[in-house]
Structure 1
Amino acid sequence: MYSFLPQNNPLQAFYPFLKMNYARVCHQTLDKSFEMNGSYFLVCSRCTGIYLGAFVGVLLLTFPIIKNLYSSYKYFFAFSLVLLIDVLVNNFIFTDYNKTTAFFSGYLFSFFTVNFVILELKRNHFFQSMQKHI
């Protein structure tokens, strides 16, 4: 959740540690990051969408009506394709990076991926078999 915090905040002491850890998975280019109150996020807009989508996806799994809506290969592959197309278009066709489309492609990809993976693990009784070994 710290990826959504601006760089100059009360948790400034954690900044070097967080920046180093996020650098392993994100390029952290400032012109591709969202800005809030004059500070840039620690990750780019696509990674912000990925983290937020995963967070929201896990939260929504607690609601019974959501549990079986998004466990489908078609959603997983469709939004994986959307993310791939967005990356290719932004890197090789257009020179202007669109933070909004990058955010939403990352959000949709991770939202459906988290739901798909967790529901598939539940369907295959992965969590029940883990409890037997503990």
Structure 2
Amino acid sequence: GAYIGSDLCRGKQAGHADLDFCYNVLRCRWDAGHAASRGRLESVDSLFLPLYSTWEFAQAGSDSLYGAEAPDALSACEGSRTVLRYEENQFSAAVAYKDRCGVFVCGFPFETIYPAFRRDQFMQAILRLLTP
């Protein structure tokens, strides 16, 4: 979700179990909170989505859609790779790892991707990427 990196990492010292989980299980590092304000994403990995295709997520909520007000920037580590970037600043928005297991981590909540058919396409792309 929007705080997956900041909740695990902010204020933690090296060796803390939360940091170890973030690095070694989720395969990412937290770079920044409030990483985007426009809600636009760009694919940077053609194995995930067509290169440079754009996606949107809600940053302002409504009655029918949750808003991600402070998405995290997450960088790849421990063999993962950046697959999405925030269009406005090129901060890493999502990382993926695939070896004996698969991990996909977004700095914004999945449910904020819109419209719904794009959210379905996004999940299909994640499953294709992570399926052996």
Bigger Rg, which one: 1
- The structure with the largest strand share of the pair is 2
TM-score (norm 1): 0.29
- The structure with the largest helix share of the pair is 1
